[in-house]
Amino acid sequence: MERILRGIMRYRNTTREQMVKEFQKVRDNPEPKAVFFTCMDSRMIPTRYTDTHVGDMFVVRNAGNLIPHAQHFQDEYFSCEPAALELGCVVNDIRHIIVCGHSDCKAMNLLYQLRDPEFASKLNRRLSPLRSWLCTHANTSLERFQEWYAAGMKDPLLFSSETPLRRFVAYIDLEHRFALEDKLSQINTLQQMSNIASYGFLKARLESHDLHIHALWFDIYTGDIYYFSRGAKRFVAVDESSVEQLSAEVRRFYS
């Protein structure tokens, strides 16, 4: 805690004045461009690796960058994630939702272990809020991973996105550069796009192409950021060779 306090003092003496100016600039007319869901992992600093600033994004973080499917809420949406979707996309009229997973995700590593029925038993879930969270809200991701793994990990997966009719094909790590847990993380990230679209209060905007859902994936070991390209049907590293093509895809499909 002392390190945090010392950090606050450095902030007061260095960047505070500039940040206050930025706060004043957006105070009366903030125009955030995205709702950004990512993991609570301490290594994930989304404003740094997207070079965004005060007022640019709503950021929502939890274990495993999960957005629970609407089917889990029969009477009320009693969870932070759907509340954040409403606050961002309905109250603040934000047009883009981004889900960002990452490599060596501790939540995804645990989800991979939950393939063991004993480890995932109800008794063990009662002892672990994290296991319960993953078993409840990431089980679909795990099931899709297991089916894909059993089939040889070569066939593409089919996901729905903004609407049931707007489906996309996804090839997962055909070059086999990543660990199995990281492949699961990528599948989980794409599954959240379908989960987001399950909420009725977003339906009209999604169907009218006024609201769009994207997926990013961050490799913490190399610092590379991958964007899921529906045109390429895979996660593509955002770099000097791809950024113009990816930008053109975004303008073509999501403008």
Q: CA-based Rg of the chain, rounded to a whole angstrom?
A: 19
Residue 72 assigned ligand-binding role? no
State the DSSP H helix or E strand holding residue 99, giving kind and residue range, or none if neither: strand 96-102
Q: Following DSSP, what letter does each residue of 184-241 receive, concatenated?
A: HHHHHHHHHHHHHTT-GGGHHHHHTTSSEEEEEEE-TTT--EEEEETTTTEEEE-STT
Residue 105 assigned ligand-binding role? yes
How many residues make up the chain in this entry? 255
Largest distance between two CA atoms of the chain:
57
In whole angstroms, how far apart are CA 132 and each of 6, 40, 129, 137, 174? Answer: 36, 17, 5, 8, 31
Residue 41 assigned ligand-binding role? yes
CB distance 238 to 218 below 8 Å: no
Residue 102 assigned ligand-binding role? yes
Annotated binding site for Zn(2+): 39, 41, 102, 105
Annotated binding site: 39, 41, 102, 105
